[in-house]
Amino acid sequence: MHISFLIHNAYGIGGTIRTTFNLAGTLAEHHDVEIVSVFRHRDEPVLAPGGKVRLRHLVDLRKDGPGYEGDLPEYRQPATVFPAAEGRYKQYSALTDRRIAEHLRSLDCDVVVGTRPGLNVHIAQQARRGVVRVGQEHLTLSTHSPQLKLALRTHYPRLDAVTTVTEADARTYRRLMKLPGVRVESVPNSVPAPGLAPADGSGKWVIAAGRLAPAKRYDVLVRAFEKVVAQRPDWRLRIYGAGAERAKLRALIDRRGLYNHVFLMGPASPLEPEWVKGSIGAVTSSLESFGMTIVEAMRCGLPVVATDCPHGPAEIIQDGVDGLLVPVGKTDAIAAGLLKLIEDDELRRSMGAAALENSARFDPGRVAGRYEELFADLRAQRGGLRGSLHRTRGALLSSAFQAKDRSRSVLRKVRAA
């Protein structure tokens, strides 16, 4: 198969980039795979897409390069296809609308995969007939605004499939979006084996990693670890990552007198050598679309104490087997979970071994195999009359939803007058 991924910016850093590269690289062992990046702002990607994967871009934003396009008049005009309610809307323009449309209409492939809602809308509207259209959801439906949900409901009927990273989110899509004829499947993100010896459970470090953002609730972790230190001052916490919350966390650590026990390490790449220095992973988020860091820690042999937040942790961790699930925002419960593993060397090591074994289901080979099956099924189903009927029904539904939404908008304006 010829498989083409469409991604926002393959030259940045982030979970979607990492998991797309993992998947594309594994699929490329048996298929013709390319990644098309809407934007390019540096000469080389930070992450490696894999030797067999072709990488190209649509808009050049390298300011010091001869092909810089950020000063084109078309780049300053607003996008009309990319949904205005999408979080990245301000980065898109009439130029990106045109370049994406030209790319999709000329794309000669078997399967095209979008990696964010706005790009999925482009694919739904503009991909050539006969190409299998797949839209990936790397966040969750519940995190999208009502305006974006309306846009997705309008355009997603023209897709062949929507994939989510958790079964909980797939159920939400099936229940709320009403997409007849569109396959909604949960396929988790993949995480490769780290390529180094796993943690042995002897290091007296708790490790956390991710963006220093409000949803990660590192403030809760710091407060919980204060309770840990009161009983086990020989243990320490390292937090890896960068973000807007760093100054607040630094102030909290200093205010609580934890400067010898809690360390803000900044970003690290690769992170695997840092995971294996620890013995326990910690995730205290209020919301996780999946939980890549949980899987990364487990693949390095660490049991993880994680808050049971929507949607990912409970689908990754077997509570009491390869990690512990604790209530969201409860410092006492988080501290108790950490202390349970700290105080019991045998339990910590046995859970670490279970984490290493159980997390193998997220290996890129296994995840890619699920995508291969999905793509093959869709290609078989979308051929001939059945595929033509699905396209026709999708177009009719999209038109009907657009008309319905316009009528509602007019009615609201009349009532407000």
Q: What's the rounded Cα separation, in Å, for the pair 124 and 387? A: 14
Contacts of 195 (CB under 8 A, 6+ apart): 272
**What pLDDT does 414 receive?**
46
What domains lie within the chain, and their CATH numbers? 2-190+365-413 (3.40.50.2000), 205-362 (3.40.50.2000)
Burial category of 214 from C-beta neighbours within 10 Å (exposed 0-12, middle 13-18, buried 19 and up): middle
Q: What percent of the chain has pLDDT over 70?
A: 92
Residue with tokens 């130029």: 95
Q: pLDDT digits over 233-258, tens only? A: 999 999 999 999 999 999 999 999 99
Q: What's the rounded Cα separation, in Å, for the pair 137 and 240? A: 26
With 90 as the cut, is the pLDDT of residue 407 above it?
Answer: no
Q: Give first-to-last CA distance, the chain, whole Å.
A: 55
Contacts of 2 (CB under 8 A, 6+ apart): 31, 32, 33, 34, 108, 109, 110, 111
Contact between 47 and 19 under an 8 Å Cβ cutoff? The reply is no
With 60 as the cut, is the pLDDT of residue 161 above it?
Answer: yes
- Other Cβ atoms less than 10 A from the Cβ of 35: the count is 27
Burial category of 273 from C-beta neighbours within 10 Å (exposed 0-12, middle 13-18, buried 19 and up): exposed
- Helical ranges in 187-240 per DSSP H: 218-231
User: Six-digit token pair at 218?
Assistant: 């590192």
Torsional sign, CA 244, 22, 187, 32: positive
Q: pLDDT digits over 287-319, tens only? A: 998 999 999 999 999 999 999 998 889 999 999
